Structure 1
Amino acid sequence: MTSLALRTPAVPGAFATVEIAGSGLAELTCAWLLLARGHRVRLRSPEPAAGPRPLLLGGPTLDLLHSLWGRELPAHCHQLTHRQVCWGPDAGAMGRRTPQPATVVDGARLTEHLLGRLVTRHPDVLSETPGPPWWTVTAAGSTGHWTAGRRHLLAGEAPLAPGTDETTARLVCTELAWLHLTPLGDGRALLQAMVPGPAARPTELLETLLAGSALAPALRHAPRAAVALPAAPRLHRTPAVPGRILVGAGAIRYDPLSGTGSAQALRTAILAAASIHAMATGAPRGPLCTHYTSRLRRAFRGHLATCAQLYPQAFASPSWQYEIDACRRQPPLLRGVGDPAN
């Protein structure tokens, strides 16, 4: 990486050649911003991931997305108007329904839509560039992460019961998990549950959790199939080094409870593009890589503090204590990074 970084232009007005290795939200946004500043960008593996990936985009996330890409979204988005939350040990109750506009969009369709806009505006991004890139931007996973806990997210789709409001997202707690129901439109919903550890039989466990929660009447039946995904907050130890910058979940991953994962992915893209531009026009590489890493560490520290405050309010069972303690611990890489800030 160092040998590549030495070729980075260091003259005001110069432009970098950047390889975008991936086609996720953060990677495409970084490419879009770099192209707007005149840099040479090439896409590697530009095909979006296959399969539906429902994303719940709240108002602030949508505002940020619109400010970067414009207001056009792919077709078949589903609009929500309210949210209903019961955060605490009372599993038999539902909280007050409050206005909270949001949009549910298929993440695969969203990235396909953004990729189409990018290629239409800049068709040369698919061309081959002789020689190695000066910078590589990617969200691809790699070794070297620090993870705050072992919790997993269970997820599956199921039909809504007749008469269920399709404009309200709902979150409830049971003794073991929090569950979130996101209407997807056309009478279907995504059911998610966070549990404090791996799940060998996610479909069976999700069905059990649903049956013991206030969400059960909202669905005709539990999801017939479910997946279990690692979902504890995660931070890469060195998200930026000369020649390579990690963005999106490859750099930092938030607990899904926060609902700000997509916004954070966009923020990493903005910061990465600004850092590459500054380095290409003469700013020293080392300090800017350190600044990028420090910004992400401050954000991660603040996120852990929020998790450490919220989870004890909802879960008193011993199975959650490890997760709470993991959020409270301050590993060496987070010490001395300043006050929590996002």
Structure 2
Amino acid sequence: MDFHKQNQPTTPSIAVVGNGLSALASVAALAKVGRSCDLIGDLTKDSHGPSLVLNDISETLLGILFPDISLQDYGYRLTHRWVKWGASHSPMKVSQPALALSSNTLLTLLRQSQVVRGSKIHPIDHHHPPDAATMSKLLRPYQWVIHANTATLPPEVNWSILGGGQRIMVATEGESVSANDSCCYIESLADSWLFSAPLFERRRIIQTCIPYASTTPQQALLESLYESRGIGSHVNNVNSIRCFPCAPYIRQPLCGIGWFLVGEAAIKLDPVSGEGTPFALRSAMLMAAVLDGILSDRLPLEAGLQHYCSRLTYSFISHLQGCTRFYEEAFGFRENWSSELHSMHHILNILYPQFSQILHDIQLYQLVDFRLVQS
């Protein structure tokens, strides 16, 4: 099917569906390539995600996409990371600039950006979200739809999810025992790993990852803090908790004629990597470059879609390879983690036969200033 041989308006209509980071980043990235879009989502809805630690890459990408938004006054500046992982008896302290802030704060700021406020917004009531038929009718006028929300994926596509694992993240905030420093902490324990970072005043982000869906997650968090010889000594009282599934997955296909998946609608990364935010931003930027190339006739339709799929799949494979190394170093093949490691190796074994073709595809083009150019 040749998209360009159809009778299309001069300016193809584009919709972005979602209300989170990847949706807002998609709007901004499309604006960077001169493409306007409609945003379909509830921009009044709070984020239920955990607080974030944005690394320097995330800050740089956010600055490019949202140049009128400054995060400096809304987060806590970090300079180092303290790491105690695996069998090492001595923790390491490494330089790592970052900014800790709540996910609600970040989304509120980005929703106030010029590029988002300048977009045509179709609000959706999150208390009464549209059913599949209503959403399909709403999206019918658009020639390209960017899906940043798993709840609104088109039902006519035969989706498959390559993932597995039962691990969850238990997240909360707590009180710092002493004045906050400028360091975030990550520590592997016998059966879990623990992360903490100062957030503001004497408040801290506290997160633990456990390899199963616990019926008593707050108890699991307290046990992790009690076992900790590093982070536990920094934390006093903790607030109510929230739990999130955190096993990685990839949804396939990642794009097709008339649509793209971005962010967690496409791929979920394990939080141990700290790469979830950069991936959400990069996938939006790559989508905008591919779509603009296709619509500008600089990029063949099939080649553009294939490059997007290959680039994201390559990133996912690299991510899983890193995660398996991290978890094997921390937990070996302990009983509670063996199934999690097995799931990741199983995904890699399925994807590896495609690897040489993926590597070939991603080397055909490179991203330069929001434009895909032939290598």
How does the TM-score come out when normalised to structure 2?
0.80
Moved more, 32-41 or 268-277: 32-41
Identity across matched positions, percent: 24
* Alignment pair present for 1:134 and 2:130: no
The one-character-per-residue Cα deviations of 1:250-269 (angstroms, maximum 9, x if unpaired) are 11111101111111111100
2: distance between equivalents of 1:287 and 1:56? 35
2: distance between equivalents of 1:335 and 1:76? 45
Which residues in structure 2 correspond to 1:88-99 (within 5 Å)?
88-89=86-87, 95-99=91-95
Tell me the CA shift for residue 232 of structure 1: 1.0
Tell me the CA shift for residue 309 of structure 1: 1.4
Alignment CA distance shift 1:272-1:9 (3 Å): farther
Moved more, 307-316 or 69-78: 69-78
Tell me the CA shift for residue 121 of structure 1: 6.3
Does structure 1 conserve the Cα–Cα contact (< 8 Å) formed by 2:83 and 2:185?
A: yes
* Alignment pair present for 1:69 and 2:86: no
* Alignment pair present for 1:294 and 2:310: yes
1: distance between equivalents of 2:103 and 2:53? 9
The one of 82, 101, 124 equivalent to 2:97 is 101
Equivalent AA in structure 1 for residue 121 of structure 2: L
Q: Which residue of 2 aligns with 1:314?
A: 330
Alignment CA distance shift 1:3-1:152 (3 Å): farther
The one of 102, 110, 114 equivalent to 2:110 is 114
Alignment CA distance shift 1:147-1:170 (3 Å): same
The one-character-per-residue Cα deviations of 1:301-340 (angstroms, maximum 9, x if unpaired) are 1111111112111103221111222222325345223378
Tell me the CA shift for residue 78 of structure 1: 0.9
1: distance between equivalents of 2:234 and 2:164? 32
Q: Which residue of 2 aligns with 1:37?
A: 33
2: distance between equivalents of 1:266 and 1:8? 32
Alignment CA distance shift 1:149-1:8 (3 Å): farther
Which stretches of structure 1, 4 residues or longer, exceed 6 Å deviation after superposition? 2-6, 127-131, 339-342
Across the aligned residues of Structure 1 and Structure 2, the Cα RMSD in angstroms comes to 2.9
Alignment CA distance shift 1:302-1:119 (3 Å): closer
The one-character-per-residue Cα deviations of 1:100-159 (angstroms, maximum 9, x if unpaired) are 211012222222222222357625x23799971111112211553211422111111111
Alignment CA distance shift 1:130-1:291 (3 Å): closer
Does structure 2 conserve the Cα–Cα contact (< 8 Å) formed by 1:86 and 1:95?
A: yes
Moved more, 242-251 or 26-35: 26-35
Unaligned runs of 5+ in 1: none
Tell me the CA shift for residue 177 of structure 1: 0.5
Which residues in structure 2 correspond to 1:234-253 (within 5 Å)?
234-253=249-268
Alignment CA distance shift 1:236-1:195 (3 Å): same
Does structure 1 conserve the Cα–Cα contact (< 8 Å) formed by 2:28 and 2:116?
A: no
Q: Name the SS for the 1:220 alignment partner.
A: strand
Does structure 1 conserve the Cα–Cα contact (< 8 Å) formed by 2:254 and 2:261?
A: yes
Alignment CA distance shift 1:287-1:3 (3 Å): closer
The one of 346, 350, 355 equivalent to 1:337 is 355
* Alignment pair present for 1:21 and 2:30: no
Greater relative CO, 1 or 2 (CA 8 Å, sep 6+): 1
Which residues in structure 2 correspond to 1:1-342 (within 5 Å)?
9=8, 14-51=10-47, 53-70=50-67, 72-74=69-71, 75-89=73-87, 95-119=91-115, 122-123=118-119, 125-126=120-121, 132-141=141-150, 144-163=160-179, 165-214=180-229, 215-221=231-237, 223-282=238-297, 283-316=299-332, 317-329=334-346, 330-338=348-356
2: distance between equivalents of 1:134 and 1:205? 48
Equivalent AA in structure 2 for residue 337 of structure 1: F
Tell me the CA shift for residue 176 of structure 1: 0.3
1: distance between equivalents of 2:148 and 2:278? 15
Tell me the CA shift for residue 201 of structure 1: 1.3
2: distance between equivalents of 1:302 and 1:120? 32
Q: Name the SS for the 1:199 alignment partner.
A: coil
